[in-house]
Protein backbone atom coordinates (compact mmCIF):
# COMPACT_ATOMS: atom_id res chain seq x y z
CA UNK A 1 0.00 0.00 0.00
CA UNK A 2 1.32 3.44 -0.96
CA UNK A 3 1.46 5.66 2.14
CA UNK A 4 3.28 8.58 0.51
CA UNK A 5 1.59 11.93 1.14
CA UNK A 6 -0.26 13.42 -1.84
CA UNK A 7 1.60 16.08 -3.84
CA UNK A 8 0.91 19.60 -2.67
CA UNK A 9 1.51 21.34 -6.00
CA UNK A 10 0.70 20.62 -9.63
CA UNK A 11 4.40 20.60 -10.46
CA UNK A 12 5.06 17.99 -7.76
CA UNK A 13 2.19 15.84 -9.07
CA UNK A 14 3.50 16.02 -12.65
CA UNK A 15 7.05 15.21 -11.54
CA UNK A 16 5.76 12.16 -9.63
CA UNK A 17 3.73 11.09 -12.66
CA UNK A 18 6.76 11.42 -14.94
CA UNK A 19 8.82 9.31 -12.55
CA UNK A 20 6.09 6.67 -12.46
CA UNK A 21 6.07 6.55 -16.27
CA UNK A 22 9.82 6.08 -16.50
CA UNK A 23 10.62 3.67 -19.30
CA UNK A 24 7.50 4.45 -21.32
CA UNK A 25 7.71 6.17 -24.71
CA UNK A 26 8.25 9.95 -24.57
CA UNK A 27 5.07 10.48 -26.61
CA UNK A 28 2.97 8.63 -24.03
CA UNK A 29 4.60 10.52 -21.16
CA UNK A 30 3.94 13.84 -22.91
CA UNK A 31 0.24 13.04 -23.39
CA UNK A 32 -0.15 11.84 -19.81
CA UNK A 33 1.46 14.99 -18.43
CA UNK A 34 -0.64 17.23 -20.65
CA UNK A 35 -3.90 15.50 -19.67
CA UNK A 36 -3.04 15.55 -15.98
CA UNK A 37 -2.01 19.21 -16.00
CA UNK A 38 -5.17 20.26 -17.81
CA UNK A 39 -7.38 18.36 -15.37
CA UNK A 40 -5.57 19.54 -12.25
CA UNK A 41 -5.47 23.19 -13.25
CA UNK A 42 -9.13 23.20 -14.25
CA UNK A 43 -10.09 21.73 -10.86
CA UNK A 44 -7.96 24.29 -9.03
CA UNK A 45 -9.47 27.11 -11.07
CA UNK A 46 -12.98 25.93 -10.20
CA UNK A 47 -12.23 26.12 -6.46
CA UNK A 48 -10.58 29.51 -5.92
CA UNK A 49 -11.52 29.55 -2.25
CA UNK A 50 -9.36 26.51 -1.50
CA UNK A 51 -5.59 26.23 -1.51
CA UNK A 52 -3.75 24.27 -4.20
CA UNK A 53 -2.72 21.58 -1.70
CA UNK A 54 -6.30 21.11 -0.48
CA UNK A 55 -7.66 20.78 -4.00
CA UNK A 56 -4.94 18.30 -4.95
CA UNK A 57 -5.63 16.20 -1.84
CA UNK A 58 -9.28 15.82 -2.86
CA UNK A 59 -8.44 15.30 -6.53
CA UNK A 60 -6.11 12.41 -5.75
CA UNK A 61 -9.00 10.53 -4.16
CA UNK A 62 -11.10 10.72 -7.35
CA UNK A 63 -8.60 11.22 -10.17
CA UNK A 64 -5.93 8.91 -8.76
CA UNK A 65 -2.37 9.06 -7.51
CA UNK A 66 0.49 9.55 -10.00
CA UNK A 67 1.32 5.83 -9.77
CA UNK A 68 -2.29 4.84 -10.48
CA UNK A 69 -2.56 7.21 -13.44
CA UNK A 70 0.73 5.90 -14.82
CA UNK A 71 -0.55 2.31 -14.68
CA UNK A 72 -3.78 3.31 -16.40
CA UNK A 73 -1.91 4.96 -19.26
CA UNK A 74 0.42 1.97 -19.65
CA UNK A 75 -2.54 -0.41 -19.72
CA UNK A 76 -4.43 1.75 -22.19
CA UNK A 77 -1.39 1.99 -24.46
CA UNK A 78 -0.94 -1.78 -24.42
CA UNK A 79 -4.52 -2.33 -25.64
CA UNK A 80 -4.30 0.08 -28.57
CA UNK A 81 -3.64 -1.79 -31.79
CA UNK A 82 -2.10 -0.22 -34.86
CA UNK A 83 -0.57 -1.14 -38.21
CA UNK A 84 2.77 -1.92 -36.58
CA UNK A 85 3.27 -4.82 -34.12
CA UNK A 86 4.58 -3.93 -30.68
CA UNK A 87 7.88 -5.43 -29.62
CA UNK A 88 6.28 -7.36 -26.75
CA UNK A 89 3.70 -8.83 -29.10
CA UNK A 90 6.21 -10.33 -31.52
CA UNK A 91 8.08 -13.07 -29.63
CA UNK A 92 8.76 -14.92 -32.88
CA UNK A 93 10.56 -12.11 -34.64
CA UNK A 94 12.09 -13.11 -37.92
CA UNK A 95 15.35 -11.40 -38.67
CA UNK A 96 16.04 -13.02 -42.05
CA UNK A 97 16.88 -10.92 -45.08
CA UNK A 98 13.71 -11.86 -46.95
CA UNK A 99 11.29 -11.47 -44.02
CA UNK A 100 11.28 -7.70 -44.59
CA UNK A 101 8.76 -8.25 -47.40
CA UNK A 102 6.05 -8.76 -44.75
CA UNK A 103 7.18 -5.94 -42.44
CA UNK A 104 4.73 -2.99 -42.58
CA UNK A 105 7.38 -0.68 -41.10
CA UNK A 106 9.46 -0.98 -44.26
CA UNK A 107 6.58 0.11 -46.50
CA UNK A 108 5.57 2.89 -44.11
CA UNK A 109 9.14 4.19 -44.07
CA UNK A 110 9.33 4.02 -47.86
CA UNK A 111 6.12 6.03 -48.12
CA UNK A 112 7.50 8.55 -45.62
CA UNK A 113 10.69 8.92 -47.68
CA UNK A 114 8.65 9.72 -50.79
CA UNK A 115 6.50 12.23 -48.89
CA UNK A 116 9.38 13.89 -47.04
CA UNK A 117 10.47 16.08 -49.96
CA UNK A 118 7.08 17.80 -50.13
CA UNK A 119 6.79 18.24 -46.36
CA UNK A 120 10.44 19.29 -46.10
CA UNK A 121 10.03 22.06 -48.67
CA UNK A 122 6.88 23.32 -46.96
CA UNK A 123 8.34 23.20 -43.43
CA UNK A 124 11.55 24.96 -44.47
CA UNK A 125 9.78 27.66 -46.49
CA UNK A 126 7.22 28.32 -43.76
CA UNK A 127 9.79 28.50 -40.95
CA UNK A 128 12.24 30.73 -42.80
CA UNK A 129 9.71 33.06 -44.46
CA UNK A 130 7.22 33.42 -41.59
CA UNK A 131 10.01 33.57 -39.02
CA UNK A 132 11.84 36.34 -40.89
CA UNK A 133 8.62 38.34 -41.30
CA UNK A 134 7.77 37.97 -37.60
CA UNK A 135 11.20 39.17 -36.50
CA UNK A 136 11.15 42.08 -38.97
CA UNK A 137 7.76 43.29 -37.70
CA UNK A 138 8.74 43.19 -34.03
CA UNK A 139 9.57 46.90 -34.23
CA UNK A 140 5.84 47.50 -34.79
CA UNK A 141 2.98 46.70 -32.43
CA UNK A 142 1.61 44.18 -34.91
CA UNK A 143 4.84 42.21 -34.63
CA UNK A 144 3.98 40.88 -31.15
CA UNK A 145 0.81 38.94 -32.12
CA UNK A 146 2.54 37.97 -35.37
CA UNK A 147 5.40 36.43 -33.41
CA UNK A 148 2.93 34.61 -31.17
CA UNK A 149 1.17 33.30 -34.28
CA UNK A 150 4.48 32.10 -35.72
CA UNK A 151 5.46 30.29 -32.52
CA UNK A 152 2.02 28.70 -32.40
CA UNK A 153 2.34 27.59 -36.03
CA UNK A 154 5.66 25.90 -35.21
CA UNK A 155 3.91 23.87 -32.53
CA UNK A 156 1.05 22.98 -34.87
CA UNK A 157 3.40 21.93 -37.67
CA UNK A 158 5.45 19.88 -35.21
CA UNK A 159 2.27 18.18 -34.03
CA UNK A 160 1.19 17.44 -37.61
CA UNK A 161 4.63 16.04 -38.41
CA UNK A 162 4.41 13.91 -35.28
CA UNK A 163 1.13 12.41 -36.48
CA UNK A 164 2.76 11.62 -39.85
CA UNK A 165 5.76 10.05 -38.13
CA UNK A 166 3.56 7.91 -35.92
CA UNK A 167 1.29 6.88 -38.78
CA UNK A 168 4.07 5.90 -41.20
CA UNK A 169 7.05 5.07 -38.99
CA UNK A 170 5.27 3.61 -35.99
CA UNK A 171 7.01 5.82 -33.42
CA UNK A 172 4.71 6.85 -30.55
CA UNK A 173 4.42 10.64 -30.72
CA UNK A 174 2.31 13.09 -28.68
CA UNK A 175 -1.34 13.05 -29.71
CA UNK A 176 -2.22 16.29 -27.96
CA UNK A 177 -0.93 19.78 -28.44
CA UNK A 178 0.71 21.33 -25.35
CA UNK A 179 -1.70 23.73 -23.71
CA UNK A 180 -1.09 27.22 -22.36
CA UNK A 181 -2.87 29.03 -19.59
CA UNK A 182 -5.59 31.42 -20.73
CA UNK A 183 -4.62 33.77 -17.90
CA UNK A 184 -1.21 34.50 -19.40
CA UNK A 185 -0.64 37.69 -21.37
CA UNK A 186 0.64 37.67 -24.94
CA UNK A 187 4.10 38.78 -23.83
CA UNK A 188 4.22 36.02 -21.21
CA UNK A 189 3.25 33.41 -23.79
CA UNK A 190 5.97 34.62 -26.14
CA UNK A 191 8.50 34.60 -23.31
CA UNK A 192 7.52 31.07 -22.25
CA UNK A 193 7.77 29.85 -25.84
CA UNK A 194 11.16 31.49 -26.39
CA UNK A 195 12.72 29.98 -23.26
CA UNK A 196 11.27 26.55 -24.05
CA UNK A 197 14.08 24.49 -25.58
CA UNK A 198 11.53 22.42 -27.50
CA UNK A 199 10.47 25.49 -29.46
CA UNK A 200 13.96 25.79 -30.86
CA UNK A 201 14.42 22.05 -31.33
CA UNK A 202 11.13 21.96 -33.25
CA UNK A 203 12.32 24.78 -35.50
CA UNK A 204 15.58 22.91 -36.04
CA UNK A 205 13.62 19.81 -37.01
CA UNK A 206 11.47 21.74 -39.49
CA UNK A 207 14.59 23.22 -41.09
CA UNK A 208 16.38 19.87 -41.18
CA UNK A 209 13.49 18.28 -43.02
CA UNK A 210 14.50 19.95 -46.30
CA UNK A 211 17.99 18.39 -46.63
CA UNK A 212 16.78 15.16 -45.07
CA UNK A 213 13.76 15.12 -47.37
CA UNK A 214 15.95 15.51 -50.45
CA UNK A 215 18.18 12.61 -49.37
CA UNK A 216 15.21 10.41 -48.44
CA UNK A 217 13.35 11.15 -51.68
CA UNK A 218 16.36 10.47 -53.91
CA UNK A 219 17.13 7.22 -52.09
CA UNK A 220 13.51 6.08 -52.38
CA UNK A 221 13.11 6.97 -56.05
CA UNK A 222 16.43 5.42 -57.11
CA UNK A 223 15.85 2.42 -54.87
CA UNK A 224 12.47 1.75 -56.47
CA UNK A 225 13.09 2.61 -60.13
CA UNK A 226 16.44 0.80 -60.50
CA UNK A 227 15.29 -2.71 -59.53
CA UNK A 228 11.88 -2.27 -61.20
CA UNK A 229 13.55 -1.18 -64.44
CA UNK A 230 16.05 -4.03 -64.19
CA UNK A 231 13.34 -6.63 -63.61
CA UNK A 232 10.96 -5.20 -66.20
CA UNK A 233 13.66 -4.76 -68.84
CA UNK A 234 14.95 -8.29 -68.30
CA UNK A 235 11.48 -9.82 -68.57
CA UNK A 236 10.92 -7.84 -71.77
CA UNK A 237 14.25 -9.11 -73.13
CA UNK A 238 13.35 -12.71 -72.36
CA UNK A 239 9.96 -12.39 -74.04
CA UNK A 240 11.01 -10.35 -77.09
CA UNK A 241 14.51 -11.72 -77.50
CA UNK A 242 16.00 -8.21 -77.56
CA UNK A 243 17.82 -6.94 -74.45
CA UNK A 244 18.18 -3.19 -73.94
CA UNK A 245 20.61 -3.43 -70.99
CA UNK A 246 23.77 -1.52 -71.93
CA UNK A 247 27.02 -1.62 -69.92
CA UNK A 248 29.61 0.11 -72.13
CA UNK A 249 32.60 -0.07 -69.78
CA UNK A 250 32.48 -3.88 -69.49
CA UNK A 251 31.90 -5.54 -72.90
CA UNK A 252 31.82 -9.05 -71.45
CA UNK A 253 29.21 -8.02 -68.91
CA UNK A 254 27.23 -6.26 -71.62
CA UNK A 255 27.27 -9.47 -73.64
CA UNK A 256 26.20 -11.52 -70.61
CA UNK A 257 23.04 -9.45 -70.15
CA UNK A 258 22.12 -10.06 -73.78
CA UNK A 259 21.80 -13.78 -73.15
CA UNK A 260 18.95 -15.68 -71.47
CA UNK A 261 21.01 -16.75 -68.43
CA UNK A 262 22.26 -13.18 -68.07
CA UNK A 263 18.72 -11.79 -68.15
CA UNK A 264 17.63 -14.31 -65.52
CA UNK A 265 20.59 -13.17 -63.42
CA UNK A 266 19.51 -9.54 -63.92
CA UNK A 267 16.02 -10.41 -62.68
CA UNK A 268 17.53 -12.04 -59.60
CA UNK A 269 19.69 -8.97 -58.98
CA UNK A 270 16.64 -6.71 -59.32
CA UNK A 271 14.69 -8.80 -56.82
CA UNK A 272 17.58 -8.67 -54.36
CA UNK A 273 17.75 -4.89 -54.79
CA UNK A 274 14.04 -4.64 -53.96
CA UNK A 275 14.61 -6.46 -50.68
CA UNK A 276 17.67 -4.30 -50.03
CA UNK A 277 15.80 -1.01 -50.48
CA UNK A 278 13.13 -2.24 -48.04
CA UNK A 279 15.85 -2.87 -45.46
CA UNK A 280 17.39 0.53 -46.15
CA UNK A 281 13.97 2.21 -45.85
CA UNK A 282 13.29 0.42 -42.57
CA UNK A 283 16.65 1.55 -41.20
CA UNK A 284 16.07 5.15 -42.29
CA UNK A 285 12.61 5.03 -40.74
CA UNK A 286 14.01 3.83 -37.42
CA UNK A 287 16.74 6.51 -37.43
CA UNK A 288 14.36 9.31 -38.38
CA UNK A 289 11.91 8.18 -35.72
CA UNK A 290 14.61 8.67 -33.10
CA UNK A 291 15.38 12.14 -34.50
CA UNK A 292 11.70 13.12 -34.39
CA UNK A 293 11.32 11.75 -30.88
CA UNK A 294 14.37 13.70 -29.70
CA UNK A 295 13.49 17.05 -31.27
CA UNK A 296 9.68 17.15 -31.24
CA UNK A 297 8.55 15.55 -27.97
CA UNK A 298 8.12 18.02 -25.11
CA UNK A 299 8.64 16.69 -21.58
What is the pLDDT, as a whole number, of residue 245? 64
pLDDT digits (tens, 9 = 90+) for 130-150: 999 988 988 888 888 888 889
pLDDT digits (tens, 9 = 90+) for 2-46: 556 667 788 888 888 888 888 888 888 888 888 888 888 888 878
Quick one: CA dihedral 40, 160, 84, 22, positive or negative?
Answer: negative
Collapse the DSSP code of 29 into the 3-class scheme (helix H, G, I; strand E, B; otherwise coil) and give the result: helix
What is the pLDDT, as a whole number, of residue 251? 60
C-beta contacts of 72-78 below 8 A and 24+ residues apart: 73/21, 73/24, 73/28, 73/31, 73/32, 74/21, 74/24, 74/28, 77/24, 77/25, 77/28, 77/172
**Confidence check: pLDDT of 248 > 60:** no
Collapse the DSSP code of 196 into the 3-class scheme (helix H, G, I; strand E, B; otherwise coil) and give the result: coil
Burial class (CB in 10 A: 0-12, 13-18, 19+), 156: exposed
**Confidence check: pLDDT of 85 > 80:** no
Burial 71-95 (b: 16+ CB within 10 A, else e): eebeeebeeeeeebeeeeeeeeeee
* 11: nearest Cα among 88, 84, 66, 69: 66
What is the pLDDT, as a whole number, of residue 56? 80
Amino acid sequence: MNTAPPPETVRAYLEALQRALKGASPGLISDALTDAEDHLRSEIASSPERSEAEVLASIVETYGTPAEIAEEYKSMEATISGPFPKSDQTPERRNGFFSVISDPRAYGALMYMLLSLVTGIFYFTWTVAFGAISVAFLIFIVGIPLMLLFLGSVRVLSHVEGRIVEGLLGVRMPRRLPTTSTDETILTRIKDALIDIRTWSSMLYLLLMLPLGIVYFVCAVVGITLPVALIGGSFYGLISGHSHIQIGDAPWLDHLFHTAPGLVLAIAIGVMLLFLILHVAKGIGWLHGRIAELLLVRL
